[in-house]
Amino acid sequence: MQRKWAIVGMLFLIAGLNYCDRTAISSVYPLLRSEFGLSDVVIAALGSAFLWSYGLGSPFAGRVADRVSRTRMLLISLVGWSVVMMLSSLANGPTALIVSRILLGIAECAYLPASIALISDHHGPESRGTAMAVQIAGMNAGMIGGSVVAGYLGERLGWRLDFLILGAAGLVLAAIAALVLRDGPRAKAPETEQRPSVFELFRIPAYVAVVGSAMMIAIGTWVFVNWLPLYIHDHFHVGLAIAGLSGTSVLQVAAVLGTLLGGVISDRLAKRSPAGRIMALAVAYFCAAPFLLAFLFDPSMTLVQASVFMYSFMRCTGSASECPIICEVVGDRLKSTGLGILNMMNTLAGGAGVMVAGLLKQHFGLAVTFAALSATVAAAGFLVLATATFMMRRSRVLTADREPAGVQAA
């Protein structure tokens, strides 16, 4: 096996553990509530503490990853969050738990920008989308595994030993990863050349469009992750375990399949046109939006699961093109920084979406709230479609300018 695919396989495993560790706490909330008497406000704070520290730290982590070894950066991140997981097992109250979540967010935020940029360094346009899709599939798989593994270990061994085991697994994985991962080739700028400013990213239309559309999509992603299990529980009167499994598995299984397919499609479209990847985003988002309207018609549980599955599948088929687009339009020296900003904006938008959804739920109910998300998904599609059209027109103009005058006249 070529090293570049061995690296992707290793990052698939690390990404799975990354999401497993960040979601593990949700499976042991009942145990934490029983031991510490946690209120709903404190439980919400545990989620927010991670979300905001992770999001706000991402751009800074990305900036560092553009200046140092990407491999070293992601290994430090892996070791860091594994140690935090182990230290979390020593928490003696709500304050210590919240601090541990903040530290986990800071440690984990360094991983994703460095790992995606590392894949881009090893994979050219012909395989970049597929390779990145494999890592993203690992994240989605880890989200399911985090709930299942943490819940299983927590019931049998307690939450403290649960966190110790997950942390220890990360340290073992880090030792193996150190043998497999290697930095890829990066273009070196002349010593006299100044480092590009972060603000240059926002002068790139494709980058702005991808970040803007990703923020709109992130609203729906986080709203479903947070509220879909409650909707299933209240609307269909099923147990919490079934509601949680139904909501999470439908979203994430579809996400894994859609991401892998989207990566392959993205690579093929990129060979045909510079705007191929971004056009894939637009088409996928337009296809995903209508499935959310099913919530307006008092759907059965089967229809809810089918609609959410197809929405998640189509959304992720498109989203698989986001990171390859960014890596190709921003250049090597701002690659990780651009990904870090994307990470931050997605997290901030998703967090705001969860809060707004809570307010809408009180007045209109979750069904109407979910259906309204179709508008944000469609808006994301229009944004990237306009950008793709602009890119294709510009490409034709540049091509025409380079042709001999006689050819143009003909």
Same domain, 112 and 3: yes
The answer to whether residue 135 is domain-embedded is: yes
The answer to whether residue 188 sits within a structural domain is: no
Which whole number is the average pLDDT over 278-301? 92
Q: What's the average model confidence in pLDDT over 283-290?
A: 95
Residue 265 lies in a domain: yes
Question: Is the same domain home to 27 and 113?
Answer: yes
Determine the pLDDT at residue 347: 84
In a domain, 192, yes or no: no
238 and 108 in one domain? no
The pLDDT assigned to 112 comes to 86
Comparing 20-29, 58-67, 104-113, 166-175, which segment has the lowest mean pLDDT? 20-29
Which pLDDT does position 167 carry in this prediction?
A: 92
Of 138, 99, 59, nearest to 336 by C-alpha is 59
Last residue within a domain, chosen from 182, 216, 241:
182
Are residues 165 and 301 located together in one domain of the fold?
no
Stretch 91-117: mean pLDDT: 90
Q: Please identify, among 130, 150, 182, the residue that sits at the C-terminal boundary of a domain.
A: 182
Q: How far apart are CA 49 and CA 101, in angstroms?
A: 6
pLDDT at 96: 92
Residue 10, in any domain of the structure: yes
pLDDT at 402: 40
In a shared domain, residues 273 and 371: yes
Residue 189, domain member (yes or no): no
- Indicate if 149 and 290 belong to the same structural domain: no
Torsion angle defined by CA atoms of residues 296, 301, 302 and 307, in that order, rounded to the nearest 10 degrees: 40
Residue 232: inside a domain, yes or no? yes
Q: For residue 189, what is the DSSP state?
A: P
What pLDDT score does 397 carry?
Answer: 42
Q: Which residue range forms the structural domain that includes residue 32?
A: 1-182
Listed residue (6, 276, 26) closest to 126, CA to CA: 276
CATH code, domain carrying 158? 1.20.1250.20
For residue 356, the model assigns a pLDDT of 81
Residues 375 and 383: their CA atoms lie apart, in Å, by 12
User: Does residue 265 share a domain with residue 177?
Assistant: no
Residue 371 neighbours by CB under 8 Å, 6+ apart: 292, 293, 294, 295, 296
H or E, element range at 374: helix 366-402
Indicate if 280 and 227 belong to the same structural domain. Answer: yes
Residues 82 and 153 in one domain: yes
Residue 409, pLDDT above cutoff 50: no
**Whole-angstrom Cα distance, residue 95 to residue 139?**
28
Q: Are residues 160 and 89 located together in one domain of the fold? A: yes
Q: Give the HSE-up count for residue 55: Cα atoms under 13 Å, Cβ half-sphere.
A: 18
- For residues 363 and 360, what is the distance between their CA atoms, to the nearest angstrom? 5
Q: Per-residue pLDDT for 319 more than 80?
A: yes
Tokens of 149: 């593994």
Instruction: Give the pLDDT score at 268.
Output: 87
> Which segment of 105-114, 236-245, 371-380 scores lowest on mean pLDDT?
236-245
pLDDT tens per residue across span 124-176: 878 888 888 888 888 878 877 766 677 677 777 888 888 899 999 999 999 99
396 C-beta neighbours (distance < 10 Å), count? 10
Mean pLDDT over each residue of the chain, to the nearest integer: 82
Confidence category of residue 107, pLDDT binned at 50, 70, 90: very high
- Backbone phi, psi, residue 274, to 5°: -60, -25
C-alpha distances in Å from residue 175, one per residue of 11, 14, 75, 134, 169: 13, 12, 9, 21, 10
Percent of the chain residues past pLDDT 90, beyond the cut: 26
Query: Could you tell me which residue, 52 or 238, shows the higher pLDDT?
Result: 52
Q: Tell me, what DSSP letter sits at residue 69?
A: -
The answer to whether residue 405 is domain-embedded is: yes
Same domain, 164 and 230: no
pLDDT at 58: 86
pLDDT of residue 10: 93
In the chain, the number of structural domains is 2
For the residues 307-330, what does the mean pLDDT come to? Answer: 89
Does residue 173 sit in the same domain as residue 250? no
Which of 115, 147, 182 is the last residue in one of the domains?
182
What percent of the chain clears pLDDT 70, i.e. is strictly above it?
Answer: 87
Euclidean distance between CA atoms 18 and 343, whole angstroms: 15
Query: 153, 26 in Cβ contact below 8 A?
Result: no
What average pLDDT does this structure show over 12-28? 84
Predicted local confidence at residue 295, as pLDDT:
93
Q: How far from 206 is each of 32, 115, 277, 373, CA to CA, in Å?
A: 45, 21, 10, 23
Cβ proximity of 319 and 262 under 8 Å:
yes
